[in-house]
Copies of this chain bind each other. A is one copy, B any other.
């Protein structure tokens, strides 16, 4: 069961050197890899990017920078819609709460973690022991290095690695195109190809008030890739589920995904309705809408894929083969999903049955799907911090461990605007969603609605809370438990009211699902290691990975799709669609049409293995130069969460040459071009 072809999101400390040598004759040197690691950037809000100058300049996707661009926008000055360019350093705009991480080191701590969690422990004791040892390892590392330190669980529990990161918290916006140029084709063309998106933006990291010196960065290729080129993608893929068992995928199909789709459609409807009220409401809801629509489309594709019997059949055969190789089953058995329950596969299946009984409650009340509101999120953190901070770091809920507090406080005290109307719309929809799921007679529903309808209750909460004011949050944070106990802020009262139920669900989840799953998956991982070594990369974990592939077109529905599109194609499509949203090219584009070299490649596709979180990933050539910025995958790639295929599945990237052409001809940013090219 070696990974087929170009599959794999490889660990940076264990890259597939032999595979690359054998298949592509490429020598992956340590110097190449070190530069790739040090020049790659993680965006705390869920994306990737890369340094592209020695002065801390970072490129990423517009849709990854969007959260910050939106927070820098106002009713009067809509940078998200209209774009932005800082001609001088003084014009660069500081983002209110963006954090970038750059990987510094990796240490395998599997032995230490496993030694702390001994087989004789009950699941509850094991969960506590694991939480404590993880927190200790992170704290020791942080105390020693001053670096952000996170223990990462790989192979669903097979390995534990300590990652240390340099953290940048002074990040400033340098350049963004118009949203319409970055997301040309909108939701309709999202996860589709051909595409014509200038989905890029630039930030700069600062230290002590001046641009950071970044020794490692990617040189910008003025040529970019062409068909057949070997390509590399570095970045932070978020989540894949390829090493999960058949039982867990069936659980996803029959519990998690239907619920998720129901939830996303509910939120999308609420956001769309809010946006339709007028231009200002549209502006406020813009990034939420794009995020939710993107998730909805991705999960729709996942669900469609899991309902295709071939997807699960492939998984079943893999699992069967593995159990046969391990001597756990005869070659013709097991044949049906319910027969695959050989320990630890059986154990995973049992855990799914257990989780199904309280998964909705857990998602609604602990994950917080019932309270889709920034103000509620703030209230919950304040309530929990008051309870958690007096404990030692290892005993706290994991998100409140010492090594994470700085990052948490940055978002908690962020001066980014919170819009009451938008909050009301989201909260009322999610309170309704809560009642729809648990029923109007449910005790918790009654407690949360407090004698009101969802709309009435949302109005009361958002209208009454003072948490939109950062000073108020700081006061409650500083006042600790006493201040929280005394608070009559309605959002704080809501967060306090749900706390007993939410904590009970969290405990039940950690002790009866998370910990037993880790143990079972660790067993499976060890069995796989025994048979296959490390020839299969671990599932994605929003940590740095290296993928590789070939720049290459494909055929779909009888049509041959080329490896790249051009500027000419964008203008053609806009004209065909009447230059109407989401196919409305910005005025700057229309004005520059005659000056543009319309044959310049705009977007391109390749076989490298990517997933959500890889947005903004640098695409590199053999020389380690940046030839593209990954921003999407096509619809054939939507089942990549479960299986990798390279027949039709492709990642999609902005061509490095397109960026230069646009900056020069459309946006006229000579300073930025000079920084990228030296010219």
Residues of chain A having any CB pair with chain B under 8 Å: 186-188, 250, 253-254, 257-258, 261-262, 265-266, 268-269, 272-273, 276-279, 296, 300, 303-309, 432, 435-437, 439-441, 449, 451-456, 577-578, 580, 582
Contact = CB atoms under 8 A, between A and B. Distances in A.
B278 A453 contact: no
A309 B262 contact: no
22 contacts: A187-B273, A187-B276, A188-B273, A253-B439, A253-B440, A254-B440, A258-B435, A258-B436, A258-B437, A261-B432, A265-B265, A268-B269, A272-B272, A278-B577, A303-B432, A304-B432, A304-B455, A307-B435, A307-B454, A308-B453, A308-B456, A309-B451
B440 A307 contact: yes
Contacts of A268: 265, 269
B254 A453 contact: no
Closest 5 CB pairs of A and B: A258-B436, A308-B453, A254-B439, A265-B265, A304-B453
B262 A432 contact: no
A277 B188 CA distance: 6
Contacts of A262: 262, 265-266, 436
Contacts of A269: 265, 268-269, 296
Contacts of A265: 262, 265-266, 268-269
A451 B311 CA distance: 11
A266 B269 CA distance: 9
A90 to B, nearest CB: 34
A429 B306 CA distance: 15
A187 B274 CA distance: 11
Contacts of A303: 432, 435-436
A453 B301 CA distance: 10
| Secondary structure type dominating chain A contacts | helix
Contacts of A437: 258
Contacts of A309: 451
A283 B308 CA distance: 31
A250 B440 CA distance: 8
Contacts of A456: 308
Contact of A577 (B187, B254, B279, B440): B279
Contacts of A272: 272
A641 to B, nearest CB: 14
Contacts of A188: 273, 276-277
Given A441-B254, A449-B307, A276 B432 contact: no
A455 B303 CA distance: 10
A634 to B, nearest CB: 14
A323 to B, nearest CB: 21
B306 A440 contact: yes
A21 to B, nearest CB: 38
Contacts of A577: 278-279
A200 B449 CA distance: 40
A179 to B, nearest CB: 16
A370 to B, nearest CB: 13
A245 to B, nearest CB: 16
A269 B278 CA distance: 20
A648 B273 CA distance: 23
Given A269-B268, A296-B269, A454 B304 contact: yes
B306 A186 contact: no
Nearest to A276: B188
A577 B262 CA distance: 32
A473 B439 CA distance: 44
A269 B453 CA distance: 25
Given A188-B273, A254-B440, A307-B453, 8 more contacts: A187-B273, A258-B437, A262-B262, A262-B436, A303-B432, A303-B435, A308-B456, A309-B451
Nearest to A301: B455
A269 B247 CA distance: 30
Given A265-B266, A278-B577, A279-B578, A432 B273 contact: no
A294 to B, nearest CB: 13
Contacts of A432: 261, 300, 303-304, 307
A451 B308 CA distance: 7
Contacts of A253: 439-440
Contacts of A279: 577-578, 580
Contacts of A453: 304-305, 307-308
A554 to B, nearest CB: 18
A291 B107 CA distance: 59
Nearest to A259: B436
A185 to B, nearest CB: 10
B308 A186 contact: no
Nearest to A268: B269
A300 B257 CA distance: 23
A261 to B, nearest CB: 6
A307 B453 CA distance: 5
A606 to B, nearest CB: 25
B440 A276 contact: no
Contacts of A307: 432, 435, 440, 449, 453-454
In the complex, which of the residues A265, A441, A449 has the most CB atoms of chain B within 10 Å of its own CB atom?
A265
